[in-house]
Amino acid sequence: MTERTPYLFDELDRQLISLLKVDGRASISFLANKLDVSRGTVQNRLDRLVTSGAILGFTIRAHQGIEKDVVKAVMMIEVVGRSTSQVISQLRGIPQLDKLHTTNGKWDLVAEIKASDLQEFDHILRMVRETQGIISSETSILLTSA
């Protein structure tokens, strides 16, 4: 197994990633024009960012009206002692937990939840709360996005 040399990101990489966050389907020509560099430079940077793992994939952001029947929420989670890694491993098995973040302060984790309806949402809450190592949680349903 060979060890990869870490890729050092610079301002051009950050600008490229920023543009791709706005439009993941932007053409190489468009990106090169916006960044005032050659198309070859953009392509090389993209290749390195993907190879290094900095870019995990390209996706779309759908208009919130398309997901109008989806229940979205954030759940703050407190875990026992140093069991965060074990809890994360268990929670990754729940597909409706769209994203899972570690954090500081009172809460150890923040989970972004997407459920198809309130019944599924209730089931997800129960599964998370019954997860060994979780001692407390607080959940807020997201009503509108600004």
CATH of the domain at 79: 3.30.70.920
Residue 146 lies in a domain: no
Burial class (CB in 10 A: 0-12, 13-18, 19+), 2: exposed
Mean pLDDT, 10 residues at a time, the chain of 146 residues: 63 87 87 94 92 78 64 94 89 89 93 91 94 95 83
Identify the three-state secondary structure at position 124: helix
pLDDT of residue 5: 57
What is the distance between the alpha carbons of residues 41 and 124, in angstroms, rounded to a whole number?
A: 45
State residue 66's pLDDT score: 59
CATH value at residue 31? 1.10.10.10
Number of domains present in the structure of the chain: 2
On whether both 48 and 76 belong to a single domain, the answer is no
Q: Where do the H-state alpha helices sit in the chain?
A: 11-22, 28-35, 39-52, 84-91, 118-129
Say whether both 79 and 128 belong to one domain: yes
Same domain, 120 and 79: yes
Q: Which residues contact 15 (CB under 8 A, 6 or more apart)?
A: 35
Token pair recorded at residue 111: 């989970």
End-to-end CA distance of the chain: give it in Å, rounded: 47
* Residue 108 counted as domain residue: yes
The predicted-structure confidence for 75-110, as pLDDT tens digits, reads as follows: 999 999 888 999 998 998 888 898 999 998 899 999
Residue 84, Cβ neighbours under 10 Å: how many? 15
Are 33 and 78 in the same domain? no
**Residue 131 lies in domain:** 71-141
In a domain, 59, yes or no: no
Q: Are residues 39 and 76 both part of a single domain? A: no
